[in-house]
Structure 1
Amino acid sequence: MARIDFEGDVFETEDQRNWTDASYKTYSTPLALPFPVTMNRGTVIEQNVRFSLAKISQKIFFQSSAKQPVHINLTKQTTPFPAIGLLQSSRYPTLSESECSLLKKLKIDHLRVDLSFVEKSWKEKFSEANLTAKQLNVPLFLSLAFSDHPENDAASFIEICGALSPKIDSVLIVDEGTKVSNSEWFAPARKLFKEKLNNVSVGAGTNAYFAEFNRNKPFPGEADFIAWSVNPQVHAFDYLTLLENLQAQADTVISARTFQPGIPLWVTPVTLKPRFNPVATRTEKPGINYPSPPDPRQMSLFTAGWLVGSLKYLAEAGASKITFFETTGEKGLIQGPENSLWPADFPSLGGMIFPVFFVLNELLRYSQGRVMNTMVSQPDSVSALTLLDGFKNVLVLASHTPKVINVLLPFPVTECSVRILDLPFCRNNMFSRGTLPDLPVQVCRPDKGVLELQPFTVVFVEIPS
């Protein structure tokens, strides 16, 4: 048994699953005392942490399961496949004809755009997003951050909607300062938008992390949905952290379900890095490095597999709508017309198609189906997502490691059809040549039901009927 004793300052323990991090953090001084803490010159702070381990009577052995195959267990519990959309590009305001053709192939549910009425350029940004949505023939999902004058903001927004005639599916209303919905003016804003925007869905929540919303309950009771964003790098950024944090995404959905049972839960957007710092103590100035340069893993097979894991945990927990990544640019599915702004760290070329595009293209074939809860014995090594569409059911296996992994399939089979997203396919198809091939179907003969999963590959295994 372990014991930890604290002395001196007051400590606070934080459940970091509120940021979808699979960890806890203990610190001082508590945030409520306040944040940030003012320290006067000469102030003395004393802290002492003592860790002690009680004597144990037997040795503890840590047995590695590296040589054991990964076991997959299919349950009978299913949930609907969530509606999947994309985030408006922060680098390119419009789409080229070839980019539009590629993205339309995905048949996404919506295009999300974040508008802040504090920014002078919000009308221009709205107009650009409206054009992009019309190019893709999808409705807009708007996140609206209101200033200290919400009545004026709402009136200006309704006025420009009259000029642009946008097709708006849903609106998330938040306060620019707190990043969460304001219970005082949410109801009148919702009523106005319902009247003026053809009974559009109006949601509450936050355009930041689940933590911001969880701290500010109760939320407006008349909301049509609850929404919050996800990224795995709030507290750390190594590969293992990104993988461990996948399961914590489900915890946010499970917690949100208790706020108002039955209300739709939307996780939007899901990005690889933070979009901004919601607890910044000074003004951040936008720029190409704001809030930080993009993650070079965005263009990797690792992130394609990470997306499979994110969709798995969010869908199995009951999220009904998810926004994944931006359309184009270094934070998106396609690089866009120009080379990377960070060629040394993010060596992408204009027109390059990232692996996350290919994996979404395959996954969205099952958008009208259901997701079956699937258990994995080594979730940090493999994510397993089972998709059912009534015709061809598929088990999606995503390798998260640079090593070959053996996976014991959860059904008896001597021969099966597979589609494999791997490095050769991505290299051969990273630039569009007019038509984009689907993943080729291959015949696989597992040895005693064991499938050999190559490093960082995503394999779609057709389940025998």
Structure 2
Amino acid sequence: MRQIRTGPVSFTLLEGDLRSIRLGGVEVLRRLSYPVRDPQWGTHAVETLSEELHEGAEGVTYTRRFAGRGAIFGGIFRAVVRPLPSGAHLLLSVEMDAPADLAVNRAGFTLLHPLRGVSGAALRVIHPDGSEEATEWPRLISPAQPVRDIAGLSHVVDGVTVDIRMRGEVFEMEDQRNWSDASYKTYCRPLAWPLPFALGPAAPVRQELDITLTGAPVAAVTGDAAHDGSLPHVAVAVEPGLTVARVLAGLEALPRLLRVRADAAVEVLAGFATGGPVTLEVILPDDDDPAASLAALALRCAAAGLRPLRVVALRESYMKSHQPDGVWPKGPRPMDLIAGVRSAFPQAAAGGGMFTNFTEFNRCRPDPAQIDFVTWGGTAIVHAADDLSVMETLEALPQIFASGRAIARGRPLHLGMFSIGMRSNPYATDCLPNPAMERLAMVRDDPRQATGFAAAFAAGVLAGAAAGGVASLALSMTDGPLGAEGRPLAQVVAWAAARAGMACRVRGGDVVRIDTAKGALLANIGGEAVALPDGARGRLLGESGPRDLGGVSLVPCGVAFLEGGGA
């Protein structure tokens, strides 16, 4: 990672991408990259062959030669950044070739636009035919592409006019908050075009971005406001095939989210009859009669002694993602299953929603009048898996929960699991393999799950949920790739479990803080170490007993549990 500044413009250079592009301190672009994605939407690993960086009085020129792992494609990225009397000019180009046709779903520039100063603001769109359209950035999360057929964008961020022109491809935009990304994304090519397509000798990529930044930046408000809320009830997710442990050791009374297929045997169900209360997530085969399958499952639950507190059901085809204007599965839709759920489990609350991301929930919204609660889950590595991108997803949570509350119209948010790794993949047949335990998108096995990074991330999720009106959610599974057992993450779960439902005050920023009447939780999700406040007493992640922590350094991904009260 390298910080670059020329005149009033600055950016971070990280693995060939331009990150956090700012003019006078105002973030105007969160990231500029040029990924190649395979037909399963996995991102091809890329190796840097050479880099050149020239800095001078007239600006900065950066050139990177790269290749896909195994030399399946190669390319050159060049960025020329020049300061202007009242701003800056960026000219960016990418060229990619492949020695043989390579099937891809995406190849070329991707621009991530920040949320701060952008959400709800005016936007001017230039289309490929030269026509212009006046619109705005979505405030609530858009289920479909908010802007299509893009050749240029122009808008103002905190006093800075951002003017972007694209050449070499047609672009469109999606609201990445659907996937927990803290950004809007402008990408190529349109999803309505045939996929996959070929990157090869007869079809190279030749693209150019021309970006002009002008204006007088408005001083940004520093710090994050405090929000009052209450801590959600933290559950633990369990699923035969992904977990073995039926409860989390030492926290046997935790609520559990049990996901089973409708044909689950009595012996399987009986294993979950003891322990904390169960929310039953049922996956129904598409060719089954939903009401009959649910009735039969209810009989087996009764025989096993399992009485779920809540039940939500989905047909298997709804475990996959569908475009809002695309082809949807034939047969009963999710709301058509509610009557069967109520009939089979009359003692349980009936829920509506999705088992995957907010994306799918937003595109297939439940009817609050017919249900008792809503649900969806989340993963941090749909699009990117580097540490910075994962922590940035926490910034999107307030807007995700606000959009969810708007859809729920007063129904409680009893949500699924929010984790770094992916539990199931709605965009491909399964999660991508990760035998080398790299930081990769769309994998279940993430190397950070067993570290303090996952604990700090979970603390950030907990803070967002507490401020966002979430009634309950899971921060992990019991064991397995997404488990907490024996890992630092379990300490955050235990802290939250002991304070479920308590009033709290939440502060965001680089150090997330949750204050309750029974102590505080602090997590450093930023990139710099910070000193704990004078007089602080408690323990750090991994420590067994309290001590004086005043002035102690809380390192990045460090977590502190402080004594005292005062939400």
Common fold, TM-score beyond 0.5? yes
Q: Which deviates more from structure 2 when the two are superposed, residues 325-334 or residues 200-209?
A: 325-334
Q: What SS does the aligned partner of 2:355 have?
A: strand
Deviations 1:199-227 (A, max 9, x none): 31111111111111212346464121111
Task: Tell me the equivalent position of 1:154.
Answer: 294
Contact 2:505 2:515 (C-alpha < 8 Å) held by counterparts: yes
Please tell me whether residue 383 in structure 1 is matched to residue 516 in structure 2. no
Contact 1:6 1:50 (C-alpha < 8 Å) held by counterparts: yes
Contact 2:434 2:445 (C-alpha < 8 Å) held by counterparts: no
Contact 1:79 1:371 (C-alpha < 8 Å) held by counterparts: yes
Contact 1:168 1:200 (C-alpha < 8 Å) held by counterparts: yes
Task: Tell me the equivalent position of 1:233.
Answer: 381
Q: Whose relative contact order is higher, 1 or 2, with alpha carbons under 8 Å and at least 6 apart?
A: 1
Equivalenced residue count is 390
Q: Which deviates more from structure 2 when the two are superposed, residues 192-201 or residues 178-187?
A: 178-187
Contact 2:278 2:310 (C-alpha < 8 Å) held by counterparts: yes
Equivalent of 1:123 in 239, 243, 264:
264
Q: Measure the CA separation in 2 of the matches of 1:395 and 1:174.
A: 38
Task: Tell me the equivalent position of 1:16.
Answer: 176
- Mark the runs of 5 or more structure 1 residues left unpaired by the alignment: 64-69, 335-352, 426-438
Flag the 1:54–1:275 CA change in 2: closer, same or farther, 3 A: closer
Aligned-residue CA RMSD (Å): 3.7
Equivalent of 2:415 in 257, 267, 292:
267
Task: Tell me the equivalent position of 1:300.
Answer: 451
Task: Tell me the equivalent position of 2:558.
Answer: 457
The 5 Å alignment of 1:78-97 reads 78-88=228-238, 94-95=244-245
Contact 2:167 2:208 (C-alpha < 8 Å) held by counterparts: yes
Q: Measure the CA separation in 2 of the matches of 1:196 and 1:159.
A: 8
Flag the 1:29–1:92 CA change in 2: closer, same or farther, 3 A: closer
- AA aligned to 1:460 is F
Flag the 1:454–1:129 CA change in 2: closer, same or farther, 3 A: farther
Task: Tell me the equivalent position of 1:421.
Answer: 541
Q: Measure the CA separation in 1 of the matches of 2:565 and 2:351.
A: 41
Task: Tell me the equivalent position of 1:346.
Answer: none
- AA aligned to 1:374 is R
Task: Tell me the equivalent position of 2:132.
Answer: none
Deviations 1:248-268 (A, max 9, x none): 122211101111321111331
Q: Structure 1 residue 112: deviation in Å?
A: 1.3
Task: Tell me the equivalent position of 2:256.
Answer: 111
Q: Measure the CA separation in 1 of the matches of 2:367 and 2:374.
A: 9
- AA aligned to 2:195 is P
Q: Measure the CA separation in 2 of the matches of 1:292 and 1:445.
A: 39
Equivalent of 2:503 in 360, 370, 377:
370
The 5 Å alignment of 1:333-348 reads 333-334=484-485
Task: Tell me the equivalent position of 1:51.
Answer: 210
Q: Which deviates more from structure 2 when the two are superposed, residues 364-373 or residues 227-236?
A: 364-373
Equivalent of 1:404 in 525, 529, 537:
529
Q: What SS does the aligned partner of 1:302 have?
A: helix
Contact 2:231 2:462 (C-alpha < 8 Å) held by counterparts: no
Please tell me whether residue 27 in structure 1 is matched to residue 194 in structure 2. no
- Aligned identity (percent) is 22
Q: Measure the CA separation in 2 of the matches of 1:445 and 1:286.
A: 44
Task: Tell me the equivalent position of 2:546.
Answer: 441
Q: Measure the CA separation in 2 of the matches of 1:231 and 1:277.
A: 10
Please tell me whether residue 312 in structure 1 is matched to residue 460 in structure 2. no
Q: What SS does the aligned partner of 1:277 have?
A: coil
Give TM-score, length-normalised by structure 1: 0.72
Q: What SS does the aligned partner of 1:50 have?
A: strand
Please tell me whether residue 356 in structure 1 is matched to residue 489 in structure 2. yes
- AA aligned to 2:264 is K
Flag the 1:249–1:258 CA change in 2: closer, same or farther, 3 A: same
Task: Tell me the equivalent position of 1:201.
Answer: 349
Flag the 1:405–1:155 CA change in 2: closer, same or farther, 3 A: same
Q: Measure the CA separation in 2 of the matches of 1:308 and 1:402.
A: 16
Contact 1:94 1:128 (C-alpha < 8 Å) held by counterparts: no
Greater fraction helix? 1
